[in-house]
Structure 1
Amino acid sequence: MDVTVRIESVRAVPTVSGFFFDDQRAIKAGAEQEGFDYRGDPVTPGFRRIREAGEALSVELELSSGEIATGDCCAVQYSGAGGRDPLFRAREYRSVVEGPVAENLRGRDATAFLTNAKLVEAMTPGEGGDRLHTAIRYGVSQALLDAAATSQRTTMADVLADAYDVEPATEPIPVFGQSGDDRRVNAEKMLLKGVPVLPHGLFNSVEKVGESGERLRDYLGWLSERATRLDGYEPRFHVDVYGILGEVFGPPYDRAEVVDYFADLRAAAAPYPLQVEGPMDEGSRETQIRAMAELRDGLADGGVAVDVVADEWCNTFDDVQAFVDAGAADVVQVKTPDLGGIHRSAEAVLTCRGTDTRAYLGGTCNETDVSARTCAHVALATRAAQVLAKPGMGFDEGFMLVTNEMRRTVARRKRTVGEREVPADD
C-alpha cells in the first residue's frame, strides 16, 4: 500500500500584496509625489501608472492527506528595474500555475521538496523557452516547502536544513525594520521595540538624501541621538539609498570627497555600526561590481568603518556569487522574490559562508504574510546575518509576522530536539 503523501491538485487565487509596485526609473527621473501617489507618466515597460496597487497569486497544493499547502507568488516593489523581471500581473499568470505547473506537479511525492522545487525552477513553458517569471517560481516553491513540512510533521526550517545538511539557528535571526517614507515616526517605533537593525529609511531621491547628502547625514545624527536615550540598546543602523549617492557624487568612488562623506555618515551614526545599501546604480552587474569594490577599497584605505550592501544588480544566485567572489560588498541582500525558487535564496545565503561577505535575507515590502513567514524559516535554516521585516511599510505588522514566526519555530524545535545537543549560533 502506497502511504506516500502526494500532490493531488494545484490551484491559484489572485490576491493582494502588502504594498505597491513603483516605477523606480520614473521616480529617479524626478516624478513629483502628490500625496501618496506620484504625478506623471510611467517609464518602465508594463506600468500603467507610476504607483500601482501590488498584486499576488496564492498557490494552493491539495495533498493526498487532505491537507493544503500554501505559497504566494509576489514580486518586488521596483519590478522591471535593475535587471529584474517585469511587472507581475496575477491574473495573467494564473493559467500558467494551473496549467503547465500543475501538470508537472500532480502525483509527485510531497516530501521531496528540493527535487520538486528544482523541477519548477527549470521549467520553460513558453514558446521561446523562457523560464517561469521569478514570482511564480517563488510562490510555487513556498507551497512545495510547506507541503514537505506538513507531510513530514516538521518545520519548514528543518526541511531546508536537512536538504542542505546544515544546522538551523537556535535563536531568532536579527530582524531589520523598514520605515517607508515615515522615516522618523517609524524609527521611533523601532527604537521602542528594540529592533536589532534599523531603519532602512527609503532614501530614493536626491531630494530625500540632500543635494550634497546632508539630509541623510542629519537623519543619522538624529537617529543616533534618539537611540542613545535607551539604556542597554545596541542596534545596527542600515540605510538604503537606491543608488542616489552615485548621482550626488559620481565616480570614481574611492576619491577623497566620497570617502570623507562616508566618514561624516560614520560620525553621525556613532557609536552604532552603519551599513549603506545600494550606494550607486551603475547600469549593469559588471560596472556595479567595479564601483562597489572601488568604494569598499576607498573606505578601507581611509579607515572608514561603514559597510556597503549590494542590492541593485544583485538579483539572482549568480549575481550574489559574483558580488561575493569579487569582494564587492560587506553584505549582500538576498532579494528573495528575485531569486525565483525559495531554495535559491537559501543557497545564496549559504554561499556566503566562509567568506568576508555577510548575507542579509531581504525581499520587499510588496510581499505577503505567507511569503514573509516562509522567509523566516529560510533565515533560521541558513543562519542569515539579518532578515527583513515584511511586508508593508508600516513596520509594526511585518516586524510582528517575521519575529513571531521565528520565535514559534525556535520554541517548537527546542521541544522537538529535546536534550540533543545542537551547535551554538555563530
Structure 2
Amino acid sequence: MTTEITGIHATPGYAGFFFDDQRAIKRGAQQDGFTYDGEPITDGFDEIRQAGETLIVEVELGDGTVARGDCAAVQYSGAGGRDPLFRAEEYAPVIEGPVADELVGRDATDLLDNAETLEELRVDDDRLHTAIRYGVSQALLSAAAEAATTTRTDVLADALGTDPATEPVPVFGQSGDDRYINTEKMFVKGVPVLPHALINSVEKIGADGKTLLEYVEWLVERSRVLGPDGYEPRFHIDVYGMIGETFGAPYDRDEVVDYFAALEDAADPFPIQIEGPMDAGGRAEQIEAMVELREGLADAGVGVDIVADEWCNTFADVQAFVDAEAADLVQVKTPDLGGIHRSGQAVRYCEGTETRAYLGGTCNETATSARACAHVALATDAAQMLAKPGMGFDEGYMIVENEMRRTIARREREQLPATSDEVTADD
C-alpha cells in the first residue's frame, strides 16, 4: 500500500533560538553579551542560556515519499508547568524505537487516529515529551497531505470540521531584546500585531513600569512615521509576569488598574494587549489572579486586553482559562500542547466564547514546525499567529506569511471551476 507508513527516523539538529532558564533570569541573572552570568536554577540546564535543540523527524511511506516534522520545545522549558528541558540525543531512540514500533504499518491518511496514538503512548509508564508528540505529528500531517495529494490545511480542516481562512491570519511579530530596530522593521512591513518586546526583567519594565510606558509611546510615534498608509497595528507586549513583580496583588486595586489605564492612553489610538501580566505560581492561582485583573479593568472601563501564557500550556489548561473567562486571548503554545492537532482543537475550543485564540509557540522552533503551524492557523482561522522561529523577526515573518499565502493561492487554483472548453470535451 503506497500510503502505508514504512519507517520513522530521527536526527538531532538545532532549533531557531536558545533554551533559557527563566527562573534564573527572573531572579536577577545578568546578561554578559548574549549569554548570562550565574548558575542555572531549573533542572536539566547546564547554563542559563544554551543552544536550542530539535529532532528532525522523517516518516517514510510505501511509495517512497518522505514527510518531515521537527520536534521543538519552548525557550523557557521547565518553567510555568511545562515539560523539562528537551535533549535531542536522549530522545532520538524513543522515536526510532517505541514510536516507530507503534506507527509503522499504519495508513498515513488516518491522521487523527495516528496522532492520538502518540498522545496515548507511554514509555516506562511516562507520557511522551511534548516535543516528541509535536514533531512526529507534524510529519504525520505532512504524510497525510502527501498521501491525499492536498494541502495540510485541508487535511486539518477535514479532521477538525472547520472552514479554512481565505486570507492570511494576522501575524504577530516578535522583536526579541532588539525591541527598537526589529520593531521598526515590522512597521516598514506593516506587520498587523507587534512587537512582543520581551519585557522579562525589572530593568526592562522600569521603576513603577515607567520604562514600558515610554516604550509604548515610542511605538505609536514610530508606527506613524514608518508604517504604510492606513496602517493600524495592534500592540502586543509580553511582560513575563513583571507587572505582578512590580505592583503585586491584589490586581483589581486602583494602583494596578491605573497602570493599565496609562498603558491604554500611551497606545492610543491603537489597541494594546498585555501577555502574562503576572505569574501566580500555579494554574488555579494564575486563573484567579487574571480574573481579578480583568474584573478590575472592566469595572474601570479600561480597554487593555489580557493574554494568557504562563500556566496555560496543555489543552486542558486552555479549556480552564477559557471556561473561567480569565483572558481576552489565550496563547495556544503549540509545542506545549503536544500533537499539532491538539493546537487546532484548542483554537476551536475558543469558538463561541469571549476568548480569542492566539496560535503561538516559541522562537525556539524551526522553519519546518513554523510552516506546519501556519496550516493550523489557516485551518482554524485563528485570531493571530506568531512569526517564528528565531528572534530576528524577518525570517520568521517570511516563513509563516509566505506559507499561508502560497497555501491560499494553491487552494484557490484547485477550486477553480472547469473552463467551458474542458466541459465540452468531457461532454
Superposition TM-score, scaled by structure 1 size: 0.97
Counterpart in the other structure of 1:321? 319
Q: 1:76 aligns with which of 74, 77, 85?
A: 74
Q: 2:411 aligns with which of 402, 409, 413?
A: 413
Counterpart in the other structure of 2:243? 245
1:418 to partner: Cα distance: 1.9
Counterpart in the other structure of 1:302? 300
Counterpart in the other structure of 1:334? 332
1:237 to partner: Cα distance: 0.4
1:4 to partner: Cα distance: 5.0
Deviations 1:131-187 (A, max 9, x none): 000000000000000000010000111000001111100010000000000000000
Counterpart in the other structure of 1:386? 384
1:228 to partner: Cα distance: 2.0
Counterpart in the other structure of 1:28? 26
CA distance in 1, matches of 2:281, 2:231: 39
Matching of residues 177-196 of structure 1 within 5 Å: 177-196=173-192
Counterpart in the other structure of 2:35? 37
Secondary structure of the residue aligned to 1:108 is: coil
- Paired letter, 2:115: A
Q: 1:123 aligns with which of 118, 121, 142?
A: 121
Counterpart in the other structure of 1:143? 139
Counterpart in the other structure of 2:64? 66
1:130 to partner: Cα distance: 1.2
Residue identity (%): 69
Structure 2 gaps of 5+ residues are 419-427
Secondary structure of the residue aligned to 1:17 is: strand
- Paired letter, 2:88: A
CA distance in 2, matches of 1:355, 1:272: 24
1:416 to partner: Cα distance: 1.1
| Kept after mapping to 1: 8 A contact 2:274/2:307 | yes
1:419 to partner: Cα distance: 4.7
CA distance in 2, matches of 1:166, 1:263: 37
CA distance in 1, matches of 2:207, 2:98: 51
| Kept after mapping to 1: 8 A contact 2:2/2:61 | no
Q: 2:168 aligns with which of 160, 172, 180?
A: 172
2:349 corresponds to 1:351: yes
- Paired letter, 1:24: Q
Secondary structure of the residue aligned to 1:227 is: helix
| Kept after mapping to 1: 8 A contact 2:193/2:235 | yes
| Kept after mapping to 1: 8 A contact 2:2/2:63 | no
Counterpart in the other structure of 1:161? 157
Counterpart in the other structure of 2:421? none
Number of residues paired by the alignment?
416
1:74 to partner: Cα distance: 0.8
Secondary structure of the residue aligned to 1:360 is: strand
CA distance in 2, matches of 1:226, 1:199: 12
CA distance in 2, matches of 1:233, 1:273: 13
Deviations 1:210-238 (A, max 9, x none): 12101111000000011123331011000
CA distance in 2, matches of 1:331, 1:356: 9
- Paired letter, 1:357: T
1:417 to partner: Cα distance: 1.7
CA distance in 1, matches of 2:327, 2:38: 35
Q: 1:18 aligns with which of 16, 19, 27?
A: 16
CA distance in 2, matches of 1:164, 1:419: 26
Secondary structure of the residue aligned to 1:168 is: coil
Counterpart in the other structure of 1:423? none
Structure 1 gaps of 5+ residues are 421-426
Secondary structure of the residue aligned to 2:106 is: coil
The ranges of structure 1 where at least 4 consecutive aligned residues each deviate by more than 4 angstroms after the TM superposition are none
Superposition TM-score, scaled by structure 2 size: 0.97
